[in-house]
Amino acid sequence: MITYKSRFLTRSEVWFDEEPHHNGRADWLLYNFCPRSVPGTRWREFYTYLIDLTQNQEQLLARLNEDTAYKIRRARARDKIVCECCDPTDRRIADQFEDVYNSFAAMKGLHPLDRARLNSIISAKALDLSVARDPEGNALVYHAIYRNEHRAT
Q: Rounded mean pLDDT of the chain?
A: 89
- Over residues 46-88, the pLDDT tens digits come to 787 888 888 998 899 899 999 999 999 999 999 999 999 999 9
Q: Give the closest residue to 130 by CA, choosing from 111, 110, 144.
A: 144
pLDDT at 23 > cutoff 70: no
Cα separations (Å) of 83 from 1, 75, 103, 106, 134? 29, 10, 20, 25, 9
Q: Other C-beta atoms within 10 Å of 76: how many?
A: 12
Question: Full-prediction pTM beyond 0.85?
Answer: no
Q: E-strand spans in the chain?
A: 2-6, 9-15, 28-32, 82-86, 127-133, 139-146
Residue-range domain boundaries for the chain: 2-48+80-146, 53-79
